[in-house]
Amino acid sequence: MKLPILDWLRMPSLRLCSPAAVALWAQMIPAMVESPTPGHLVDATGDPLDDASIAKLTGVSADGVSVLVSELVKAGILAVEGKTIVSPMVRREMGFRRVCSLSGKAGAPHRWPVRNTNAQTGHCQPVKVPVEVPDHVPVKVPVEVPDHVPVKVPVEVGLFGPPHTPPETKTEEKTEDKKTFRAAHGRGGAPHVARQSDADQCDKQKANHPKAVQYWCDSWQKLRGVKYPFNGGKDAKTISWMLAQVEGDLARFQAIIDGYLASVETYVINQGHSLGVLRSQFSTWYARAEAPQQSPETPRLFVPTASDDPNLTYEEKIRILVEEEDRLSPEEQRERLLRQMGGSE
């Protein structure tokens, strides 16, 4: 049988009692539920249990049982009727369940048709419920079927859908016409100039400027200590651009290469940058070196500073950079900011 024990334990009067009194009350509940008179603490013969009997069942002394029972009675959890200990909550709950069970048998309203009972035979006869039959029965109207039914022509459907018309095959004449048009005008219709391959540019550059090409390769090989493969595309364009800037002066060409490689030598050793990265930065370095508004001192692309030390922490690098900024004048700071942004006034 389920009892609202949790609701009872939440009662303020029971929570004010001592834990020992609550434990004794919890042990009395099953005995009161199973007793001949629900809610009364009696034995199987109906005699009330005294303090000595309760002490034997719970393992508490008789004096302790008397004190705890008095505490529960004072709190209103238990009551004493004569010599019998009574629980009002259990008695009220059991009485409520008994009333509900009686109401469910005899007092509940009937939801289903009542059967006629024959008192002589005791057999039940079901009540026949009349079935309502509609007076008007609808007449089915025949549907007119047309004499001629159009015949659907079956279409062959393949595994991936209906068949499609195959595209036109390219003829040799159309292909030749396209090639001729593209050779003359390009893909967009503009005049087309045949692009030289990297190998052709490499051979042409070596033939026109052999000393410049050889000095270029030797300089990079000296920097990295390995043989430098000449790139006919990027290297040839860079050399052509440099020679155009110095008007074909080989000595000036060599001086520019030496200055650039000297500026990046320390950075390459410390950071291990590839040749592709350094080579791509060459044009930027040269433009800054030849700019008339720069200082007489040749600017260096990769200048090692104290902040480049790999052993420094992030906070130390920030502190060093801030100190370097503080040493610069306002004009120098503005000029440095413009260079970092890649623009000018």
Whether 335 shows a pLDDT value over 60: the answer reads yes
Alpha carbon distance 311, 319 (integer Å): 14
Tokens of 188: 């967009």
303: pLDDT confidence band, cut at 50, 70 and 90? very low
CA 174 centroid distance within chain: 55
Q: Which residue has the higher pLDDT, 289 or 322?
A: 322
Q: Which residue has the higher pLDDT, 242 or 55?
A: 55
* Residue bearing tokens 């155009």: 244
Q: Which residue has the higher pLDDT, 137 or 53?
A: 53
Whether 257 shows a pLDDT value over 50: the answer reads yes
pLDDT for position 300: 43
* Among 17-21, 98-102, 107-111, 222-226, the range of highest mean pLDDT: 17-21
Alpha carbon distance 103, 109 (integer Å): 10
190: pLDDT confidence band, cut at 50, 70 and 90? very low
pLDDT for position 83: 83
Sequence-separated (6 or more) residues with CB below 8 Å from residue 124: 115, 116, 117, 118
Alpha carbon distance 335, 272 (integer Å): 29
Helix (H) or strand (E) holding 117: strand 116-117
Range 107-123 average pLDDT:
51
Supply angle C-alpha 234, 235, 237, rounded to 5.
65
Q: What percent of the chain has pLDDT over 90?
A: 0
Range 137-161 average pLDDT:
68
Domains of the chain: 5-105 (1.10.10.10), 198-304 (no CATH), 306-345 (no CATH)
pLDDT tens figures, 139-149: 777 887 777 66
Which range, of 16-20, 50-54, 200-204, averages the lowest pLDDT?
200-204
pLDDT for position 281: 63
Range 101-112 average pLDDT:
56
Q: Which residue has the higher pLDDT, 193 or 19?
A: 19
pLDDT for position 345: 47
Which CA distances in Å does 193 have to 83, 173, 196, 232, 301? Answer: 123, 24, 9, 19, 37
pLDDT for position 334: 75
pLDDT for position 192: 42
Q: Cα-flanking dihedrals φ and ψ of residue 86, to 5°?
A: -125, 145
Range 54-75 average pLDDT:
85
284: pLDDT confidence band, cut at 50, 70 and 90? low
pLDDT tens figures, 192-228: 444 455 555 566 666 667 777 778 777 777 766 666 6
Whether 85 shows a pLDDT value over 60: the answer reads yes
On the 0-12 / 13-18 / 19+ scale of CB atoms within 10 A, 315 is exposed
301: pLDDT confidence band, cut at 50, 70 and 90? very low
Range 313-330 average pLDDT:
74
Whether 97 shows a pLDDT value over 60: the answer reads yes
Instruction: Give this prediction's pTM.
Output: 0.30
